[in-house]
Amino acid sequence: MEQLKQRIKQHEGFRRTVYLDSLGKRTVGYGHWGVEDFWEDDKEYSKEFLDEIFEQDFQNAADQCQDFCNENDLEITDKAIEVLIEMIFQLGIGNVNKFRRMIAALQDKDYEVASLEMLDSKWADQTPARAEELSLIMKDAENN
């Protein structure tokens, strides 16, 4: 999981202060949406504190992925699970649930079709490089 965490951190980037992301949402650290009341604009937060927030966000995404796989009867490879964890980290579970054709392909263990369905999305339009990279990992997920 450490390799996955590093990949997510690389994709998310890191800022010690609150900023508006590409969707206009208040964000801090490694892509953490600052929905809690305690985030202050123009305050610089410590890397240690933001690393703790990342670990909580990562564990939340991993837990939601486990529930997602159970609810959708997915018995998939570790590579495919890692892709889903990163998608949940970035998009949130509600938005990943909208990838119905990807889910159907994963239920059939058709990783190639799942990878193509990932690219047929608003997500792929908004973050094309990340979507393409994750799609390629999904396509190769059968070769765990």
What pLDDT does 38 receive?
Answer: 86
Q: 35 near 88, Cβ under 8 Å?
A: no
Chain mean pLDDT for the chain = 95
- Averaged pLDDT, 34-38: 81
- Per-residue confidence band for 144, with pLDDT thresholds at 50, 70 and 90: low
What pLDDT does 7 receive?
Answer: 98
d(CA 115, CA 2): 23
Secondary structure of residue 68 in the 3-state scheme = helix
Between strands 15-20 and 32-33, the pairing is: unpaired
Quick: pLDDT tens for 97-117: 999 999 999 999 999 999 999
Secondary structure of residue 26 in the 3-state scheme = strand
Task: Please name the residues in contact with 10: beta carbons below 8 A apart, sequence gap of 6 or more.
Answer: none
Q: What distance separates the 2 farthest-apart alpha carbons in the chain?
A: 48
- Averaged pLDDT, 130-140: 97
Give Rg (Cα) of the chain: 16
